[in-house]
């Protein structure tokens, strides 16, 4: 039986490194009858853009022999290798290649088995060869001046494809993938309906590929006319803090702050659980269930599961952030679906603000009251003597009307002598005063105590 295949089953290989040639190796648990018998048991099927181009074994590169170190595998119960067959594959074009070994003969008899191995060869922007790193392309979508949509394929190895222009709300039918000179395909934008907050800016397309040799359709590539790389139209947070999306009073929309990077400042009661919801609330005011991400295994990776799954698909924060932080900053990379949770904030600044809000209002109230009384409610007493001011129209001078600016000791009359009683008070004739007067004792004729509101 075959115990090892190199470079590895379903291995992606950069075509820039391969340059049309890939070295492979098969190891067997028994010594084979001959090197030629192994070579004849191997067939290759290539799924590429070029017609009638199939990878083949370079017969001059075939080499066989016993495994010198007995090919021990550091796993319990593993079967050791005893025989090795190596060769180079040439004419290896971009695409998927299936290598099949059928009933290879050993010295003790036939293996009686058929083993199939896959290798994928292509450029770094090929979503079939590198599905994790090539799930977005800035050249995939083209919108011309007439508003027509075109898709530029870079997916050798695909057998069929389909597209969606409304973020997967609906899909086109599957059509054969041709590539090559027909890699530019015109598509028709699909209709979409939803709530106003669910609409998005720019144009977007999702192209899904199916590969017959790989037996999978899990190859998806996004294209966009938006200025920032994105794979979601929106992203919302839901959890107990907003009744799992039913509450609308708490801001919960993540912001696209950089290419593929969504961010939200999250503060809650700890411990806490939450999910990411792409569409948020539907027009029927119900949280959308079609595109929800959680974390099934606690690896901080966003997992999308069907709504009917019974296990909780949620992210868990088991405790508060380390002091002095108050909350967490959630970061989701929608290219890798990796979620980062960073403590943020400072409780000391919050405490300082709390103390300031508790102390400043009464302190400012006292200062304001004192300033008002000092500027507008001082009582002046003139016990004796008065003199008519030479400037009978002095009350019309503007500085006499602005007591708060330092001229609040002037009056309509000048004192008859400075410092008669050391008070510096001013006497005015009773008959000539138009101000309110208040007597603290029976007044002497012509002498009065004036209580004035100098701000008038």
- Helix (H), strand (E) counts: the chain: 3, 28
Mean per-residue pLDDT, 283-302: 91
50 pLDDT tier (thresholds 50, 70, 90): confident
Residues whose CB is less than 8 angstroms from the CB of residue 27 and which lie 6 or more positions away in sequence, other chains included = 2, 3, 4, 5, 67, 71, 81, 83, 84, 85
Residue 247 has pLDDT above 50, yes or no: yes
Half-sphere exposure of 332 (CA within 13 A, CB side): 28
Q: Which pLDDT does position 447 carry in this prediction?
A: 42
- Nearest-5° angle of CA 227, CA 187, CA 164? 65
Measured between alpha carbons, how far is 173 from 161 in angstroms, rounded to an integer? 8
Verify cis geometry, omega within 30 degrees of 0, for the bond prior to 7.
yes
Write down how long the chain is: 456
**Residue 436 has what DSSP assignment?**
-
Mean per-residue pLDDT, 7-33: 93
Q: Which residue has the tokens 């066989």?
A: 64
Four-residue CA torsion sign, 320, 321, 323, 325: negative
Q: Are 79 and 1 in contact (CB under 8 A)?
A: yes
Q: Which pLDDT does position 450 carry in this prediction?
A: 42
Q: Which pLDDT does position 76 carry in this prediction?
A: 76
Q: Which pLDDT does position 399 carry in this prediction?
A: 47
pLDDT tens digit sequence for 88-144: 999 999 999 999 999 888 888 777 789 999 999 999 999 999 999 999 999 999 999
How far apart, in Å, are the Cα atoms of 264 and each of 19, 58, 187, 252?
Answer: 45, 56, 35, 8
Mean per-residue pLDDT, 318-326: 91
Q: Are 299 and 315 in contact (CB under 8 A)?
A: no
Half-sphere exposure of 64 (CA within 13 A, CB side): 15
Q: Which pLDDT does position 389 carry in this prediction?
A: 58
Query: Please, which residues bridge with residue 274 across strands?
Result: 315
Q: Are 117 and 111 in contact (CB under 8 A)?
A: no
Residue 419 has pLDDT above 50, yes or no: no
pLDDT tens digit sequence for 443-456: 444 444 444 444 43
Q: Which pLDDT does position 71 carry in this prediction?
A: 54
| Listed residue (456, 447, 451, 393) closest to 420, CA to CA | 447
Q: Which pLDDT does position 421 carry in this prediction?
A: 44
* Average pLDDT of the chain to the nearest whole number: 84
Mean per-residue pLDDT, 389-418: 47
Ranked by mean pLDDT, which of 166-170, 306-310, 403-407 comes out on top? 166-170
The percent of residues in the chain predicted with pLDDT above 90, rounded, is 61
Lowest mean pLDDT among 27-41, 61-75, 165-179, 333-347: 61-75
The percent of residues in the chain predicted with pLDDT above 70, rounded, is 82
Q: Which pLDDT does position 445 carry in this prediction?
A: 46
pLDDT tens digit sequence for 178-233: 887 778 999 999 999 999 999 999 999 999 999 999 999 999 999 999 888 999 99
Q: Which residue has the tokens 């008959």?
A: 431
């Amino acid at each position: 039986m075959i115990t090892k295949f190199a470079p590895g089953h379903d291995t992606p290989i950069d075509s820039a490194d391969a340059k049309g040639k890939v070295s492979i190796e098969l190891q067997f648990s028994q010594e084979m009858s001959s090197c030629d018998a192994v070579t004849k048991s191997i067939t290759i099927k290539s799924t590429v853009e070029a017609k009638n181009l199939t990878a083949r074994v370079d017969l001059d590169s075939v080499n066989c022999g016993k495994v010198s170190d007995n090919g021990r595998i550091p796993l319990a119960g593993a079967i050791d290798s005893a025989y090795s067959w190596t060769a180079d594959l040439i004419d290896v074009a971009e695409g998927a290649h299936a290598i099949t070994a059928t009933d290879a003969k050993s010295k003790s008899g036939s293996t009686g088995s058929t083993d199939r191995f896959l290798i994928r060869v292509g450029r770094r922007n090929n979503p079939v060869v590198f599905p994790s790193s090539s799930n977005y392309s800035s050249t995939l979508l083209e919108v011309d001046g007439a508003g027509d949509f075109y898709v530029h394929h870079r997916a050798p190895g695909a057998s069929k494809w389909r597209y969606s222009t409304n973020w997967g709300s609906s899909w086109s039918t599957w059509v054969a993938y041709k590539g090559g000179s027909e890699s530019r395909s015109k598509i028709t934008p699909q209709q979409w309906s939803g709530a106003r907050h669910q609409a998005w800016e720019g144009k977007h397309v999702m192209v899904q590929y199916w590969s017959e040799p790989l037996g999978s359709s899990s190859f998806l590539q996004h294209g966009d006319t938006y200025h920032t790389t994105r794979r979601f139209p929106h992203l919302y947070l839901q959890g107990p803090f907003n009744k799992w999306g039913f509450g609308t009073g708490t801001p919960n929309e993540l912001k696209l702050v950089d290419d593929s990077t969504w961010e939200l400042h999250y503060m809650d009661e700890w411990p806490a659980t939450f999910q990411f919801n792409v569409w948020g609330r539907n027009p029927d005011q119900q949280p959308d269930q079609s595109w929800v991400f959680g974390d099934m295994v606690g690896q901080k990776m966003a997992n999308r599961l069907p709504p009917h799954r019974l296990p909780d698909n949620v992210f868990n924060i088991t405790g508060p952030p380390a002091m002095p932080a108050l909350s967490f900053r959630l970061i989701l990379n929608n290219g890798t679906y990796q979620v980062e949770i960073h403590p943020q904030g400072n409780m000391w600044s919050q405490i300082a603000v709390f103390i300031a809000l508790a102390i400043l209002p009464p302190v400012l109230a006292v200062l304001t009251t004192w300033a008002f009384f000092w500027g507008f409610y001082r009582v002046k007493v003139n016990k004796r003597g008065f003199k008519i001011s030479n400037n009978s129209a002095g009350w019309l001078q503007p500085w006499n009307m602005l007591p708060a600016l330092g001229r609040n000791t002037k009056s309509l009359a000048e004192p008859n002598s400075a410092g008669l009683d050391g008070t510096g008070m001013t006497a005015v004739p009773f008959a000539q005063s138009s101000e309110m007067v208040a007597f603290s004792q029976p007044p002497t004729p012509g002498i009065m105590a004036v209580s004035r509101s100098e701000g008038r």
